[in-house]
Amino acid sequence: MTDCSSGRVISTHTQGVCSLQQLESSLAHAEKAGEKMKQFYQKAVQRRLAKDAKFSHLNIAI
């Protein structure tokens, strides 16, 4: 791999040829998206646990 200032490109297995800067940018976007997904699911679990705790005293059998 080379630094961005060299202007050289590297090969990837799935995208053909791209610059190191493009590769780093794509990785940064993927990491950011992954973090957002993680936060979304953590909040969903917290909401579910809070909801379950709120109604746990009712002992409703389904």
- Blockwise average pLDDT, block size 10, the chain, 62 residues: 51 66 90 93 90 71 55
Report the distance separating Cα 24 and Cα 47, nearest Å. 35
> 3-state DSSP call for residue 56?
helix
**23 CB burial (10 A radius; 0-12, 13-18, 19+):** middle
Locate the DSSP E strands across the chain.
9-12, 16-19
Q: Can you give the pLDDT at residue 2?
A: 43
Q: Would 1 be classed as within a structural domain?
A: no
How many folded domains does the chain comprise? 1
Q: Tell me which residue range forms the domain holding 30.
A: 6-56
Query: Is residue 62 situated within a structural domain?
Result: no
pTM of the model: 0.54
